[in-house]
């Protein structure tokens, strides 16, 4: 068990770098903050490299910490934790976790969410959490979509990323692959060339594509789908937030009789 | 038409104060930033007191600005706009609008959303936008719920507040009032004492109560409802974000056949 008190420690610099894409690729690790996320990572058997904890963590999470080998544990001062945390109130526990660069598809069935150029970390995180609740099998992070290992995304996913298959990839290629496997692929489109989500049919295997906050799903992808879908609006709002639209659609798909 | 160049101008101090609850109550005005919101306020006949615009606003929004009397218009320097804006990129136009302290109920019918101690500005704003899209008639901001005139809430509502009746009030009193008018009042509850949202019946007049991000709807209110409702989860996520849950429920209520 190590101890890091000084905020000038070299190790801290490394962990801080895990907040950047470059740093994550360099060290092949990412950084998790707070007990809920670290506990979910542990429960779901993610490869935890280092557990960092403060004095409060040591007192409050003793049983949890006892499950780890001493060589994995690092006691850090509050100051040191503050220096590497992205939170306004630094957590009592954090961890570095092995980044699975190439996540391969484990099971080619069920319901999938494809993210096309979705940029807001909160929107993306919330959609992954909703996908989990709706019983979806996985998510594909397409081009332009925010990185799933970014601190804000990790926080908003609340650990749901550990319950689902998470893949980064080219959506055009994945649409082709899914269609070959007889998946029904839905796009989302605001205009009425699409069909209302109320007219969806029950499908065991399907993929739903949602798109950028401003532009929606790219035209190129919309042309490749089996069916495009819209949510009617009854008031004067011009559109729905993408995470709300995705929530309504995923639950519709999951609960069709 | 006035001009404000110096950021030390007294008027700016007043507008800055409109970002606080105290300032809004003192001046009985609130502050709107950006063309979309100012335009929605104008279209929906809100009482605009002052229009502020920068050089870019003057160039890009000439036709819009021409609709206002000169005495309502104030040209401000980019610096001055920056000093009163809450945005990282200050807007080219902003406005102060009369705060309607006591918004009375205009029409006692339709579908309503009650907010019990909902604290996140983004959640609240997004729910108002969704309520608008789902054709709801109004919102009641109950105790503990974030202020509807706060900058972040105004931004997330995207002008939907101008399309709906917005009331601040005591939810216990409003539940009693609505029930007297034969409204059906739904609470939301995560546990299974409630019924699944899939078993809801079509209702022309009803109210839906959603609650605090951590605690949900208070027990006291849940006891007063006609029926409490939950959204089943099929994966491992323990719960849904409140704005997602509200979106799914409002669309279910609006689209029941």
Q: Is residue A36 part of a domain?
A: yes
CB–CB of A126 and B198 under 8 A? no
Residue B78's domain is classified under what CATH number?
3.30.1330.30
| ipTM of this predicted structure | 0.91
Question: What's residue B103's pLDDT?
Answer: 63
Mean pLDDT for the stretch of residues A141-146: 95
Interface A-B: count of C-beta contacts within 8 A: 101
Residue ranges of A 156-215 with Cβ closer than 8 A to chain B: 158, 160, 163-164, 198
Mean pLDDT for the stretch of residues A108-113: 92
CA distance A16 to A54: 16
Q: Does residue B66 contact residue B56 with C-beta atoms inside 8 Å?
A: no
> Which chain B residues touch A136 with a CB distance below 8 Å?
235
CB–CB of B235 and A122 under 8 A? no
**How do residues A31-87 score in pLDDT, each as one tens digit?**
999 999 999 999 999 999 999 999 999 999 999 999 999 999 999 999 999 999 999
**B147 plus B235 within the same structural domain:** yes
Nearest residue of chain B to residue A238 (CA atoms): B133
Closest approach of chain B CAs to the CA of A95, in angstroms? 21
Question: What's residue A1's pLDDT?
Answer: 74
Q: Is residue A104 part of a domain?
A: no
Contacts of A195 (CB under 8 A, 6+ apart): A227, A228, A229, A230
Choose among A234, A239, A247: nearest Cβ to B244. A247
CA distance B52 to B5: 12
CB–CB of B160 and A255 under 8 A? no
Q: How far from A84 is each of A19, A87, A142, B184, CA to CA, in Å?
A: 9, 9, 29, 50
Angle made by CA atoms B206, A233, B110, in degrees to the nearest 5 = 20
Q: Is residue A206 part of a domain?
A: yes
**A67 plus A120 within the same structural domain:** no
Q: Which two tokens stand for residue A193?
A: 């060339």
| Res. A190: pLDDT tops 90 | no
Question: What's residue B104's pLDDT?
Answer: 65
Write out residues in chain B with pLDDT < 70, as ranges.
101-104, 106, 192
| Res. A102: pLDDT tops 70 | no
Mean pLDDT for the stretch of residues A251-257: 93
Of the candidates B98, B124, B148, which is a domain's last residue?
B98
Question: What's residue A238's pLDDT?
Answer: 82
**A130 plus A240 within the same structural domain:** yes
Mean pLDDT for the stretch of residues A14-21: 94
> Which chain A residues touch B198 with a CB distance below 8 Å?
255
Q: How far from B104 is each of A151, B100, B165, B185, CA to CA, in Å?
A: 44, 9, 9, 20
**A23 plus A50 within the same structural domain:** yes
> Which chain B residues touch A161 with a CB distance below 8 Å?
none
**A49 plus A129 within the same structural domain:** no
The verdict on A24 touching B (C-beta cutoff 8 Å) is no
Of the candidates A34, A68, A98, which is a domain's last residue?
A98
The verdict on A233 touching B (C-beta cutoff 8 Å) is yes
**A86 plus A189 within the same structural domain:** no
Query: Residue-wise over B74-83: b if at least 16 C-beta within 10 A, else e?
Result: bbbbeebbbb
The verdict on A123 touching B (C-beta cutoff 8 Å) is no
Q: Where are the alpha helices (DSSP H) in chain B?
A: 10-17, 21-27, 35-43, 55-60, 62-65, 78-84, 121-133, 151-157, 171-180, 219-222, 242-255
**How do residues B83-137 score in pLDDT, each as one tens digit?**
999 999 999 999 999 998 666 676 778 999 999 999 999 999 999 999 999 999 9
**How do residues A87-101 score in pLDDT, each as one tens digit?**
999 999 999 999 986
CB–CB of B130 and A236 under 8 A? no
Choose among A132, A236, A237: nearest Cβ to B237. A132
**What percentage of residues in chain A have a pLDDT greater than 70?**
97
- As a whole number of Å, the end-to-end CA separation of chain A is 54
Question: What's residue B49's pLDDT?
Answer: 96
State the residue range of the domain holding A142: 111-255
Question: What's residue B101's pLDDT?
Answer: 63
Nearest partner of A118 among A102, A131, A99, judged by Cα: A131
CB–CB of A122 and B122 under 8 A? yes
CA distance B158 to B160: 6
Question: What's residue B30's pLDDT?
Answer: 96
> Which chain B residues touch A163 with a CB distance below 8 Å?
235-237
CA distance A249 to A230: 9
> Which chain A residues touch B236 with a CB distance below 8 Å?
132, 160, 163
CB–CB of A133 and B239 under 8 A? yes
Nearest partner of B160 among B192, B186, B136, B188, judged by Cα: B136
**B85 plus B133 within the same structural domain:** no
Q: Does residue A185 contact residue A175 with C-beta atoms inside 8 Å?
A: yes
Provide the number of structural domains found in chain B: 2
Question: What's residue A103's pLDDT?
Answer: 63
> Which chain B residues touch A254 with a CB distance below 8 Å?
234
Q: At what angle do helices B242-255 and A242-255 cross, to 10 degrees?
A: 60
CB–CB of A136 and B233 under 8 A? no
**B182 plus B79 within the same structural domain:** no
Residue B244's domain is classified under what CATH number?
3.40.1280.10
> Which chain A residues touch B232 with a CB distance below 8 Å?
255
Instruction: Tokens 């919102």: give the residue.
Output: B139
Mean pLDDT of chain A: 93
Contacts of B197 (CB under 8 A, 6+ apart): B229, B230, B231, B248, B249, B252
> Which chain A residues touch B235 with a CB distance below 8 Å?
131-136, 160, 163-164
Q: Do strands B29-33 and B93-98 pair parallel, antiparallel, or not at all (unpaired)?
A: antiparallel
CB–CB of B233 and A134 under 8 A? yes
């Amino acid at each position: 068990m190590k101890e890091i008190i000084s905020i000038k420690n070299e190790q801290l610099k490394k962990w801080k770098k895990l907040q950047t894409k470059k740093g994550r690729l360099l060290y092949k690790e990412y950084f998790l903050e707070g007990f809920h996320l670290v506990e979910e990572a542990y429960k779901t058997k993610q490869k935890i490299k280092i557990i960092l904890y403060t004095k409060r963590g040591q007192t409050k999470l003793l049983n949890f910490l006892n499950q780890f080998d001493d060589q994995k544990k690092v006691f850090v001062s509050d100051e040191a934790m503050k220096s590497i945390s992205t939170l306004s109130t630094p957590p009592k526990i954090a961890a570095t976790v092995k980044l699975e660069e190439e996540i391969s598809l484990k099971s080619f069935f069920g319901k999938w969410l494809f993210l096309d150029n979705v940029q807001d970390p909160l929107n993306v995180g919330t959609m992954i959490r909703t996908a989990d609740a709706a019983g979806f099998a996985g998510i594909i992070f397409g081009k332009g979509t925010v990185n799933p290992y970014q601190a804000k995304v990790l926080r908003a996913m609340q650990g749901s990323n550990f319950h689902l298959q998470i893949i980064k990839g080219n959506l055009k290629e994945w649409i082709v692959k899914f269609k070959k496997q007889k998946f029904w692929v839905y796009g989302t489109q605001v205009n009425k060339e699409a069909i209302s989500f109320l007219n969806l049919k029950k499908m065991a295997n399907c993929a739903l594509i949602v798109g950028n906050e401003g532009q929606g799903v790219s035209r190129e992808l919309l042309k490749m789908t089996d069916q495009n879908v819209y949510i009617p609006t009854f008031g004067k709002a011009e559109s729905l937030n993408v995470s709300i639209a995705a929530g309504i659609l995923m639950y519709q798909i999951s609960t069709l009789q």
